[in-house]
Structure 1
């Protein structure tokens, strides 16, 4: 299994069409690794913008100039956002407030995380502002913490953060890095209704180009188109994994689901038995699936993407929805090699989620311990 493409080659698309939105939704759901919120709400919102005549351009990172503003959502886009629907202009207002406060004009809307519900929000902001989106992101998948990007807590993300919520309020956090911004944001979200649009500190185009994981938007689109074709063909889990460029780690029936509480990330585990009854799997989970054990041996861990798919419907099962009796295929999807580098890995490895285990990268033929252990 090779790493996901990290290329500055021509984008998979230069403008999003309706079927691309569905593919992006499917790809983002896979790359969510069971967390990050479901992208369905964002897909519906984006389709509404496109139906109203808006366009979303996707450009290569080599063409970027000026300022890139990463846009996402803070809070629970999986549950609260369904109960507290958007006003429709939060993302546009986020961009406008950032521009006004900083005295700059944003040239490009950056994708923070191409996995999970956050993947669709930059494209909505792009549709509302007429600004393009680069074929790149800063995580390569979904992660939970503001610091879990390739930028991390570096000086590039110490600056001005802007959030906007449905009732018209906007909040500016100035001079903060990711840890401080996250503390303030989590405390404010209850007053903001549970979720809000969020703009990260803007990055100069050359900085974004140097740091970003190029080609990840195209990668998500390809995954989504391939997943749709596999579902239509009713392919089994192993065939689907090959089609997606990943690995099929096994299939089983869920025997027990344990959910923990406390700590920064929700904890828990899923126990499964293989169809022949001879093999046992355990999947650890935080906000995302984080580690797979087969008969007690660790065979895969974050930062690779661990997916639990319903064996019959081929749909991704989020961590909050896996239940006893589910028949599940366990798939592993590769991430860009950059996430396995020593300067990034500790923020993404199992110990970042409170698991006492070294990161293990699955290669064709079996698991391989990651150099340096990620500790």
Structure 2
């Protein structure tokens, strides 16, 4: 699909490529997309199809952005899905709002939430829009390119595996997140989530266009590069990324933060000449070289295993890991002064100005 115009059916190969692209764009967080890819492939093997449409093809109507809230790591591990959570989430949203949802939107094109909207689409017969609201993965509901104002002050819907659905009405994203995280403890740790519906006109105006197709293309290049055994600098060139360095993890320090766990990873470069420090929350957020900040969010910071080139999640990095550090570009809109405060280092509790290492969009 990455080389085809939007509006064509998603293929099994597209699903696999999206899985790899979403894994990179998770920036070490967002959950492993493998389960979502397997779940979606199962839906498609049963005869369900998913059409991906360009933003400009949206006529009048409504777009519902769908994701999973809570611990995506527990989906299919600590609490198995019933299989219809995403469909029920869409159905409850339609019933509560009294509107017909015409298309499914992607909230974040990084991490596992890049795949779940496609499952909702396969189960409801609705198309997915080739766009998203984050351009990568972020942890909070308000970390989108949308102003967290009237358009996102509506009813938020959750549906969990045992058949319960919950509606949080009339609140903005930060309040919705606070209420939802408290409720998710009693719902088993995770649930399908729908943002308030957006009109097609609003979605055309605010969404980051073409990011689904770009993520699939990124995944294809990454998959091919890993299969070819490229080294770090070669893979960075193929991905349009910047190679920040590589070496061995000396220490991983984790400590509690406000709402999320935080941590630091110290990496001694292969030549022994420098120390790289990676600051992380749910995602990798900042890289320092010998104490100097060299890369920050919103650019995507990736840690890959030097030998397999597999993505290393923030919860998996350990002392002794041999790693490659890359910085991937994000859509220019994330660097806009109106959006940057929600996605820059200080949004992760880091007292540092953002440093842009990469420019342009994913190819």
1:69 and 2:64 aligned? yes
How far 1:231 moved relative to its partner?
1.1
Unmatched runs of 5 consecutive residues or more in structure 2: none
Query: Can you list the C-alpha shifts for 1:238-268, whole angstroms capped at 9, x where unaligned?
Result: 1111111111110110000001113123211
What is the DSSP-based 3-state SS (H/G/I as helix, E as strand, rest coil) of the residue aligned with 2:174?
A: helix
What is the DSSP-based 3-state SS (H/G/I as helix, E as strand, rest coil) of the residue aligned with 2:72?
A: coil
Q: Distance in 1 between matches of 2:241 and 2:7?
A: 23
Select 2:278's aligned residue among 271, 274, 283.
283
Q: Distance in 2 between matches of 1:152 and 1:272?
A: 37
- 1:56 is aligned to 50
- 2:154 is aligned to 159
How far 1:79 moved relative to its partner?
2.9
1:147 and 2:142 aligned? yes
- 1:268 is aligned to 263
Q: Distance in 1 between matches of 2:175 and 2:21?
A: 31
What is the DSSP-based 3-state SS (H/G/I as helix, E as strand, rest coil) of the residue aligned with 1:227?
A: helix
What is the DSSP-based 3-state SS (H/G/I as helix, E as strand, rest coil) of the residue aligned with 2:43?
A: helix
Query: Can you list the C-alpha shifts for 1:304-351, whole angstroms capped at 9, x where unaligned?
Result: 000000010010000000000000000110000000000000000101
Q: Distance in 1 between matches of 2:136 and 2:346?
A: 18
TM-score, normalising length: structure 2:
0.96
Matches within 5 A, 1:2-13: 11=5
- 1:303 is aligned to 298
Select 2:171's aligned residue among 155, 176, 183.
176
Comparing 201-210 and 75-84, the one that deviates more:
75-84
How has the CA–CA distance of structure 1 residues 363 and 128 changed in structure 2, closer, same or farther, with 3 Å as cutoff? closer
Structure 1 stretches of 4+ with a deviation exceeding 6 A read: none
Unmatched runs of 5 consecutive residues or more in structure 1: 1-8, 365-375
> Is the 1:78–1:117 contact (alpha carbons within 8 Å) kept by the matching residues of 2?
no
> Is the 2:50–2:125 contact (alpha carbons within 8 Å) kept by the matching residues of 1?
yes
Matches within 5 A, 1:188-227: 188-227=183-222
1:79 and 2:74 aligned? yes
Q: Distance in 2 between matches of 1:215 and 1:262?
A: 34
> Is the 1:23–1:222 contact (alpha carbons within 8 Å) kept by the matching residues of 2?
yes
> Is the 2:159–2:166 contact (alpha carbons within 8 Å) kept by the matching residues of 1?
yes
How far 1:12 moved relative to its partner?
6.0
How far 1:232 moved relative to its partner?
1.1
How far 1:201 moved relative to its partner?
0.2
Q: Distance in 2 between matches of 1:225 and 1:23?
A: 5
TM-score, normalising length: structure 1:
0.93
- 2:310 is aligned to 315
> Is the 2:243–2:326 contact (alpha carbons within 8 Å) kept by the matching residues of 1?
yes
Comparing 150-159 and 11-20, the one that deviates more:
11-20
What is the DSSP-based 3-state SS (H/G/I as helix, E as strand, rest coil) of the residue aligned with 1:361?
A: coil
> Is the 2:327–2:358 contact (alpha carbons within 8 Å) kept by the matching residues of 1?
no
Select 1:42's aligned residue among 36, 41, 48.
36
CA RMSD of aligned residues (A): 1.3
Q: Distance in 2 between matches of 1:154 and 1:110?
A: 19
What is the DSSP-based 3-state SS (H/G/I as helix, E as strand, rest coil) of the residue aligned with 1:145?
A: coil
- 1:4 is aligned to none
1:22 and 2:24 aligned? no
1:98 and 2:86 aligned? no
Aligned residue-pair number:
356
- 2:335 is aligned to 340
